[in-house]
């Protein structure tokens, strides 16, 4: 828990899926479904030169570095990719294992995706232009855009954002 009593990313994972909170040989990743006051979720389009999902929409996130907690990694990734500061972790949307056949290290991944709030100018993110080409806010009526440049049947990001929006609009 944080000083104000809100749960941390680590606490949410430990409470929701204790088996996922323990030691693993998997490389941890985190994702932040950043929300605004209108109940939308921030997404950014990966650059064309990215080996994984080029020109596809994604949420802010990435790998947990050695010695980092999930909370620390989430705050770092959100700041690196948007320039915003993580304020609160509201909800664990999902935690799951996946295999990364595109990486050079060959390690399987374990990911936790959270709905979060941030501070900063939400109309002017500072995106990493070498990694992302553009950004936008997504509401329930905009989900179809997330399928752009995805392979047939690759609807993971659509489902993830849809679950996040459903939780926000419950």
Specify the CATH number for the domain of residue 132: 3.90.79.10
- Does residue 42 form part of some domain? yes
| Tokens matching residue 93 | 């949307």
Sole residue written with tokens 């992302």: 132
Q: Name the nearest CA neighbour of 143 among 116, 123, 163.
A: 163
DSSP annotation of 35 reads B
- Does residue 1 form part of some domain? no
Give per-residue pLDDT as tens, 42-91. Answer: 999 999 999 888 999 999 999 999 999 999 999 999 999 999 999 999 99
Q: How far apart are CA 59 and CA 81, in angstroms?
A: 10
The one-digit pLDDT tens for each residue of the chain (170 residues) are 555 667 887 787 777 665 566 656 788 899 999 999 999 999 999 999 998 889 999 999 999 999 999 999 999 999 999 999 999 999 999 988 877 665 566 778 888 999 999 999 999 999 999 999 999 999 999 999 999 999 888 899 999 999 999 999 99
Q: How many domains does the chain have?
A: 1
Structural domain boundaries, residue 48: 9-168
- Does residue 54 form part of some domain? yes
């Amino acid at each position: 828990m944080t000083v104000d009593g809100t749960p941390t990313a680590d606490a949410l994972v430990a409470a929701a899926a204790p088996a996922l909170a323990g030691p693993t040989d998997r490389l941890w990743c985190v994702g932040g479904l950043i929300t605004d006051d209108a109940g939308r979720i921030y997404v950014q389009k990966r650059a064309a030169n990215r080996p994984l999902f080029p020109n596809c929409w994604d949420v802010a996130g990435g790998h947990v570095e050695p010695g980092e907690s999930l909370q620390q990694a989430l705050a770092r990734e959100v700041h690196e990719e948007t320039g915003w500061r993580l304020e609160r972790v509201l909800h664990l949307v999902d935690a799951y294992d996946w295999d990364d056949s595109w990486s050079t290290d060959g390690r399987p991944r374990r990911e936790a995706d959270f709905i979060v709030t941030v501070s900063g100018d939400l109309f002017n993110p500072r995106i990493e232009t070498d990694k992302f080409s553009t950004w936008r806010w997504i509401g329930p009526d905009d989900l179809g855009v997330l399928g752009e440049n995805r392979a047939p049947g690759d609807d993971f990001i659509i489902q993830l954002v849809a679950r996040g929006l459903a939780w926000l609009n419950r």
